[in-house]
Amino acid sequence: MIKKVLFVLLFLGCSSLKSDYSNIKVLEVIDGDTVRLENQRLLRYIGIDTPEIRIRNGNNFIYKPQPFAEEAKEFNRKLVEGKTVRVEFDVEKIDKYGRLLGYVFVKEKFVNAKLLEEGYAVLFTNPPNLRYVELFKKLQKEAQDNKRGLWGAYEVIDSNMAYLYINQIRTVKGKVLNSYKTDKCIFLNFGKDYKKDFTIVIFKDNFKYFYERNIDPKNFYKGKTVQITGKIIDYNGPEIVARTPEDIEVINN
């Protein structure tokens, strides 16, 4: 009996993976960057991130929308809910949570790109899924310059104020005072106390994306004023993870 149940579960899992993702309906919009498809699979949009509607509280999630989270969800809902979409995959098709990873199109409308273009999402590089990273970078810059969506609501914050915005998406600006390399990552430090001050973290698996651009991530950014957009997390002080050079913008002083 147990073997039969396991076989059924395996069959259902495999069959859902074999769905025709070139022509599939969106049943439900979860938030600005996640939807549920008609085969019950969750799909996370590649290359973008939107403010969270729910936050983790122990083993549970509670409703606590961040600024502009509801607006992003509503914009996404108008784009895709109840509509038939085409999903395009990149190198990785599934993330560590079991969600599908994809680029979504409604006819010729590129949903991931539209969310960035209108300022409802920010660039979230996700190596090795980088097919449209140059397009996404361009669209985000245009949205920033025109203060569309969240860019009109959010101000760039100084690195010494980053601790006030833990678990929120923000653009942080400051001068990289020094850097430190370990076996696992590189730390770009914005203050003298690395345990309290803002830091950009680049993990070892992503070094290659910097080297491909002839950038030594340990030394290139030292002494430069930069800004980075992403979710600020608290780990020995506020930090944002950079995955590619596109995440870090050098500001002309």
Question: What's 239's domain CATH number?
Answer: 2.40.50.140
Pair of tokens at residue 160: 């010494």
Residues 92 and 212 in one domain: no
pLDDT exceeds 50 at position 231: yes
Catalytic annotation, residues: 44, 52, 99
pLDDT tens per residue across span 106-116: 999 999 999 99
Q: Are residues 165 and 97 in the same domain?
A: no
Q: What pLDDT score does 194 carry?
A: 79
| pLDDT tier, 4 (very low <50, low <70, confident <90, very high otherwise) | very low
pLDDT at 12: 44
Q: Is the pLDDT of residue 253 over 50?
A: yes
Residues 187-220 as b/e (b if ≥16 CB within 10 A, e otherwise) read bbbbbeebeebbbbbbeeebbebbeeeebebbeb
Please tell me whether residues 26 and 118 are part of one structural domain.
yes
Q: Choose among 52, 251, 30, 43: nearest CA to 170.
A: 52
pTM (two decimals): 0.83
Give a yes or no: residue 74 inside a domain.
Answer: yes
Same structural domain, 113 and 162: no
The CATH number for 28's domain is 2.40.50.90
Asked whether residue 86 falls in the same domain as residue 122, the answer is yes
Q: Please state which of the ranges 10-14, 148-152, 241-245 shows the lowest mean pLDDT.
A: 10-14
What token pair was written down for 34? 């996640």
Return the closest-CA partner of residue 34 out of 48, 19, 25, 44: 44
Give residue 154's pLDDT.
86
**End residue of a domain, out of 101, 120, 145:** 145
pLDDT at 165: 93
Residue where a domain stops, chosen among 99, 114, 145: 145
Residue 73 belongs to some domain of the structure? yes
pLDDT in tens, 58-82: 777 788 788 889 999 999 999 999 9
Domain check: are 34 and 104 in the same one?
yes
Same domain for 195 and 120: no
Q: Which of these three, 145, 170, 193, is where a domain ends?
A: 145
The pLDDT of residue 8 is 40
Q: Are residues 90 and 133 in the same domain?
A: yes
- Mean pLDDT over the full length of the chain: 90
Q: Structural domain of residue 67, as residue ranges?
A: 15-145
134 φ, ψ (degrees, to nearest 5): -70, -40
Position 89 in a domain: yes
